[in-house]
Structure 1
Amino acid sequence: MLTNDNQRGRIVILFGAGATLSWNSPKTYELTTLVRKSGFKTTDNQTTITEYLFQALLKSGYSENDINFETIINLIEELTVYYSWFDSEKKLPSLIGCLLTPRFEKEIFNFSIKGGEIKHGYQLQIPAGKDYEFSDFAYHNETPQQFFLLHLLSEILTDISARISKYAYHTSGHSVVDVSSPISNQFCKWIASLSKRSVLRIYTLNYDRIFKILLERNGVSLFEGFDCGENIPVGESLRANVPKILKDNDCNCHYNLHGSAYWEVLNLDKNHLPNPEIVLTSGPNLPINNNPASFQVEKGKTLLVTNIITGYQKVQKTNITPYRQMYSAFDDDCCFADEIFIIGYSFGDEHINQSLKTAIRYNPKLKITIVDPSFIKNKMDFQFAIKFFPYRQAGNLNPKKVAENLYSYFDGAFVVHTKTFEEFLDTASNGHIANRVDGREP
């Protein structure tokens, strides 16, 4: 918070999926279609397992609007928990596995054990009877079903990572990021104007480094949790600078709260023990090229360690480094920010929402600006009034229309621009004050 004229302010910017659409990032529908076609086939060797799960959800009463790629991935992750040991040493089944009997095993588990014997270091054949090129060795007491599902998740996340690479691939030798496009220039101009008066704490829920790359190229240095600039030397794997993430709250930063395609999961430590670590590399990584690394973040809850977090187990997965420390920084920054910009985020992640709610409750001077073209159309204003405004002192919850595509709440403490991010940046680059929070027309 500002205390005197010599102290810089603190601005938090939270980017959701809608913030990068102008850079050709995928929409939710595209990723859902991708995931439905991704991964292994069922035992009919025609239908993908993901499509089978999608159809099973429809038959159970879900509508297509209720199901997206995260729903399907979460279902596979829940099955992984079901088929994992609660205690591998005692061969205790999962708690839920003690009570329920599945109805789909014959359709889904299209694999066989290479050599026919389940022993230390066994491999899977996928589909059954055929060697699988990316099959790992089961050295950590994985059940065959669990091991199969971990390989399936790796296949799906690889396809997602490949799609991220199409719009965000960047190395010192080759890049698809258009650093000189009008939208890129407008973005850098806007951020540069903010950085003159405030510390910038940038957080993204996307899996790319685009904004980091653009800003470094334009003279705005950002710490992304790893000690590097725009490029990482080829062949290097950078360990996260955890002490700096936790202690340095006054540097400009760019943190990937849900991971990055540029992160890589090392399944073993230097002593070849199962202590997974996440590192930053020079280019996007495909999880299929790495050995699956699983861990129990809670007793009996076996999860796959991934370089990108999706599905509905985000809270559990953010307990590992560097997710945990980056989220802690976000929680801290929200509580002490002067302004928070929320751009292209649909408020679907409750662990993110909790940090925002806490900030609204304990930071009475906080200004919040939301950029979302569908905020009013999708009745997010109603949801926001129910879920967030109760954390503010009582007042008029109805929006005041200040201008076309501009709404104000609580005398300008909350401002909503019903524009795309590109339209918002165009307003800012033309010299208007795009983050006006006093309810007046910009």
Structure 2
Amino acid sequence: MNKKRNVILFGAGAVIDWGGPKTPDLTKLIRERGFYTKDGKTRITDFIYNKLLEVPGYDETDINFETIINVIEELIVYYANHGLRKKVPALMKPFFNINFEDEILNFSIIGGEVKQLYKLHIPGKDDEWSIMNHGEETPEQFFLQQLLAHLLTDITIEIEQYAYHTASKTNVLTEQNAEMNKLFQDWVNLINGNDVLRMYTLNYDRNFKILLTQSTYKYEIFEGFDCGDVIGYTDQLKPQARRILEDQDSHIHYNLHGSVFWRVRALNQYQLELPEFYLACGAYIEQNTDEFPTFQSEKGKTVFLTNFITGYQKTQRAIFSPFKQMQAAFDRDCIFCDKLIIVG
């Protein structure tokens, strides 16, 4: 007898009781972080927020942290050059002017001119720790990428506070969470029984895999990488793209929008410009990177690749493995499942 297939999709609200941040909290956080405009008092993110409020039709309910991040991502597209042999501006740049360049682009080039290798002076940052640009990005693009990296780091820290889990320390399997963890474990077992459990999450954590792996029901759950609930401190696990596509009978937990515990490299193992994603033990701190992986999923539109996807460029940024394979599995499971449950 074939087992039934039960699909659960977890949204942002699913992890609030475990300490997951709410959208208004992340919006407030983002407005208070990042670099300043040239007045030295206003955060660029808060500047963007208030400028959007001035647009007819927008109110506070229409603008959240993803809206602000999307504006920054679109500015990266606007300022980026593209082309391998001949660098040309973004396709839309000749047709539009940015009204607020003088306020937003608060940086200078150390040494005064763009060379093959150069750094930016950004007020509030120590020049000694500035990241080196290797000549691929325009100064404006490079500045905005650093701003975005800082904001994503702030989000990462918020998530790690409730989702960190290693062999020696866990923020998931705590005494404070014990009752809630047991309720979740029992609920999943009640609705799933001996059937096939297919879990998908839009959050950036691994919590529900960890809870079920450590439950008395002893689920074996595949998350796209070959691992248990604990990742080794030095591990950098490659995604199992083929298994993600082919395996329809395992219990799974897939992060459709990535995870703070994934890492992204600009170059693959053959040193080609094809970004690769890995799963690691601790959260990936974006602002500490010495390289910014970028790619053009559409000609003339440069996107900044990160380990988790926020903002409104999800389609363009999810064409890479393992995002694409996980989305394909989700499509198939939604069509052929016996039960579909949406939580949060």
TM-score normalised by the shorter chain: which range applies? over 0.9
> Are 2:227 and 1:228 aligned?
yes
Q: Is the 1:155–1:287 Cα contact (8 Å) retained in structure 2?
A: yes
Q: 1:55 aligns with which of 28, 50, 58?
A: 50
For residues 276 and 329 of structure 1, the distance between their equivalents in structure 2, rounded to whole angstroms, comes to: 21
CA shift for structure 1 position 90: 2.3
Residue of structure 2 equivalent to 1:422: none
Question: What is the aligned counterpart of 2:187 among 184, 190, 204?
Answer: 190
Instruction: Tell me how far 1:267 sits from its aligned partner.
Output: 1.9
Moved more, 174-183 or 107-116: 174-183
Which residue, 6, 10, 16 being the options, matches 2:5?
Answer: 10
User: Structure 1: which amino acid aligns with 2:195?
Assistant: S
Q: Is the 8 A contact 2:12 2:203 kept in 1?
A: yes
Question: How far is the alpha carbon of 1:191 from its aligned partner?
Answer: 1.6
Percent identical: 47
Residues 326-345 of structure 1: pairs in structure 2 closer than 5 A: 326-344=326-344
Could you tell me how far apart the structure 2 residues matched to 1:108 and 1:166 are? 31
Give the corresponding residue for 1:214. 211
- CA gap 1:117/1:129 in 2 versus in 1, 3 angstroms: farther
Equivalent-residue separation in structure 2 for 1:282 and 1:215 (angstroms):
18
Instruction: Tell me if the contact between 1:80 and 1:146 (Cα under 8 Å) persists in the aligned partners.
Output: yes
- Aligned-pair distance for 1:254? 0.1
Query: Any idea what SS the aligned residue of 1:165 has?
Result: helix
Match of 1:319 in 2: 319
One-letter code of the match for 1:215? Answer: L
Q: Does structure 1 residue 294 correspond to structure 2 residue 294?
A: yes
Q: Give the Cα separation in 2 of the matches to 1:167 and 1:82.
A: 36
Q: What's the CA shift for 1:182?
A: 1.3
Aligned length in residues: 338
Counterpart-to-counterpart distance in 2, 1:245 and 1:27: 30
Q: Which whole-Å CA distance do the structure 2 matches of 1:197 and 1:51 have between them?
A: 50
User: Structure 1 unaligned runs (5+)?
Assistant: 1-5, 345-442
Q: Distance in 1 between matches of 2:286 and 2:126?
A: 21
User: In the TM superposition, what is the alpha-carbon distance from 1:178 to its structure 2 partner?
Assistant: 3.3
Question: Partners of 1:275 and 1:45 in 2: how far apart?
Answer: 38
One of 61, 64, 67 as aligned partner of 1:68 = 64
Q: Work out the CA distance in 1 between the residues paired with 2:83 and 2:15.
A: 43
Q: Secondary structure at the match of 2:221?
A: coil
- Whole-Å Cα distance in 1 between the matches of residues 328 and 20 of structure 2? 27
Is the CA contact 1:192–1:220 (under 8 Å) kept in the aligned structure 2? no
- What is the DSSP-based 3-state SS (H/G/I as helix, E as strand, rest coil) of the residue aligned with 2:222? coil
> In the aligned structure 1, how far is the partner of 2:174 from the partner of 2:238?
27
- Residue 126 of structure 1, CA deviation: 1.1
CA RMSD of aligned residues (A): 1.6
Distance 1:139 1:295 in 2: 16
Call closer, same or farther: CA 1:74–1:319 in 2, change over 3 Å. same
- Distance across 2 between alignment mates of 1:132 and 1:325: 41
Q: What is the match of residue 89 of structure 2?
A: 93
Offset from partner CA, 1:57-86 (integer Å, 9 cap, x none): 011232111100000000000000000114
The equivalences for 1:245-264 within 5 A come to 245-264=244-263
Deviation at 1:239, TM superposition (A): 0.5
Q: Deviations over 1:395-416 (max 9, x none)?
A: xxxxxxxxxxxxxxxxxxxxxx
Whether the aligned pair in 1 keeps the contact of 2:117 and 2:132 (CA below 8 Å) is: yes
Note the C-alpha offset of 1:271. 4.1
Which residue does the alignment assign to 1:277? Answer: 276
| CA deviation after TM superposition for structure 1 residue 200, in Å | 0.7
> Are the aligned partners of 2:163 and 2:171 in contact in 1 as well (CA < 8 Å)?
yes
SS in 2 for 1:225: coil
* TM-superposed deviation, 1:141: 1.8
Q: 1:28 corresponds to which residue?
A: 23
What letter corresponds to residue 260 of structure 1 in structure 2? S
Opposite residue 10 of structure 1, the aligned amino acid is R
The answer for the alignment partner of 1:122 in structure 2 is: 118
TM-score in terms of structure 2 length: 0.94
Tell me the secondary structure at the aligned position of residue 33 of structure 1. helix
Comparing 11-20 with 273-282, greater Cα deviation is found at 273-282
1:46 and 2:41 are equivalent in the alignment: yes
SS of 1:192's equivalent in the other structure is helix
Secondary structure of 1:11's counterpart equals strand
| 1:128-167 equivalent positions in 2, closer than 5 A | 131=127, 133=129, 135-139=130-134, 141-167=136-162
**Bigger radius of gyration:** 1
